[in-house]
Amino acid sequence: MNSLLIKNGLIIHADGQREENILIQNETIAAVGTELEYSSETQIIDASGKWIFPGVIDPHTHMGIPIKTGSSADTFATGSRSALHGGVTTILDFTVLEKRQSLVNSLEARKKLAGKSLCDVGLHINITRFTPEILEEIPRLISMGFSSFKVFTTYKEAGMMLSYDEIEAVARIVGAHDGVLMVHSEDNNVISAASEPFADRSKTDPRYHGLSRPPEAEAVAVRKLGEISERTTCTIYIVHLNTAAGLAETAKYPLLKVETCPHYLLLTEEVYKKEGGRMFVSSPPLRQKTDQEALWRGIQNGQIHTIGSDHCPFCLADKQAGLPFQEIPNGMGGVETLFSTLLAQFLQRGLDLSLLSRLTSRNAAEIFGLEQKGTLKAGTHADLLIVNPKSLSTVQDEALDTILDWNAYTGLPAIFPETVIRRGEMVVSEGRTQVSSLGLLLKSV
Ligand SMILES: [Zn+2]
């Protein structure tokens, strides 16, 4: 039996911080406490003066998803390696529903790709088509352990949108079986009206991307989804919330769970004016400073529950200069810098580190039913990070473990973990990734 003792670290639990030791046996935490018994074969890590966080759960990634002109730039293999280097031991990604495919078949196809992941991986089920057959599959998928579904209130032209009535029908079934419905919440009518002036596709400036997807689109959609959550008693999880107006709506509906992303917390629409501003095009777009500060308030007052990277990276050549703004591939990478940049921000803003622990691990585990994740206690998976509080630096491209040639967060303050342990295996040591086993496909039941 492999046995590892991490002693004298300050554990950043979801409910407070305590100096305790952690005994790991194989993949699992055997005990947490101040006086632990261990054998002479136990390997010991002295974490004096260090912080120990639960392994980060990134509830929102898109590894290698097809787009019109190819696919997002990370595969499960490359993206999960970056994830581990940044302290993310679990990613939750999405299935891709092809034309005429069943939900179960879309899951099986995606599982094959996700099997290459080095971190543990769960899959949300995308529902981008509304038929009686699809609805019938939902309870079956939940009984198979896949209980989170995602729908879109926009992307009508791409054939991905469900109407609010259709979303309500899905929510009724998902809610009745204790699942979670995730929603990309931007109202399609608001976007269509705002996009009208640019329909001729002559505009290349990325600023038009923001103008064509105004904040009201989020506020309108969130309100309608809040009402649906009340009528159906289904937990609705708003992905990538990004506006003050949208956040204000979420406060009215207790069944809504709210995710935001590092790019909305760390960047604003000002970056669109920079040389290469097109690289920052993602949907929903970046917003104003006032929105950003509202999101930070939402984090402090508990209105925001999780932070997902929405990792969907593209390389420089994927977003050529001179493309009409509508044709710039949407998305940015962020899984590797998610935790390190947020930790630096939390310190700068003097925020409670247990709040960070909840936002980056515990809350996602609770919402998505991952009972073996998110808490450092006996019986759970041994996923954890050891962080040296004195190692504040900045994001440097050459220090990242990535295949990507562009990063949105370069130069921002960051504290990367020194050591990352995923189910008992030390996958990052002294900041270097070395992984000898694959991730586990996670289920919620
Ligand atoms: Zn996304």
* C-alpha 60 to ligand 1 mean position (Å): 6
25 Cα–ligand 1 center, Å: 36
Report the separation in Å between the CA atom of 427 and the middle of ligand 1, taken as the mean of its atom positions.
26
Using CA atoms, how far apart are residues 7 and 21, in angstroms rounded to an integer?
4
- Distance of CA 333 from the midpoint of ligand 1 (Å): 11
CA of 183 to the centre of ligand 1 (A): 10
pLDDT at 444: 87
- Residue 7 Cα to ligand 1 midpoint, Å, equals 38
Using the mean position of ligand 1's atoms as its centre, give its distance from the Cα of residue 92 in Å. Answer: 11
Instruction: Enumerate the CATH 2.30.40.10 domain ranges in the chain, comma separated.
Output: 3-53+376-389+397-433
Separation of alpha carbons 293 and 218, rounded Å: 17
CATH of domain 3-53+376-389+397-433: 2.30.40.10
How far, in Å, is the centroid of ligand 1 from the Cα of 190? 20
Are 179 and 138 within 8 A, CB to CB? Answer: yes
> How far does the centroid of ligand 1 lie from the alpha carbon of residue 410, in Å?
21
Segments of the chain with pLDDT less than 50: none
> What is the pLDDT at residue 69?
84
Residues 6+ apart with CB under 8 A from 212: 191, 194, 195, 198, 325, 326
Ligand 1 centroid to Cα of residue 16, in Å, is 31
User: How far away, in angstroms, is 444 Cα from ligand 1 center?
Assistant: 20
- Give CATH 3.20.20.140 domain extents, the chain: 54-367
Let me know how many helices (H) and strands (E) the chain has, helices first: 13, 21
3-class SS of residue 18: strand
Cα 61 to ligand 1 centre (Å): 6
CATH number 3.30.110.30 given to 54-367: no
- 């974490």: which residue's tokens? 47
Residue 262 Cα, ligand 1 centroid: separation in angstroms? 13
* Residue 37 CA to ligand 1 centre (angstroms): 45
The SS3 call for residue 219 is helix
| E-assigned strand segments in 154-262 | 180-184, 235-238, 256-260
- Residue 62 Cα to ligand 1 midpoint, Å, equals 6
Amino acid identity, residue 56? V
- The per-residue pLDDT for 352 is 98
CA–centroid distance, 52 to ligand 1, in Å, is: 29
Alpha carbon distance 42, 49 (integer Å): 21
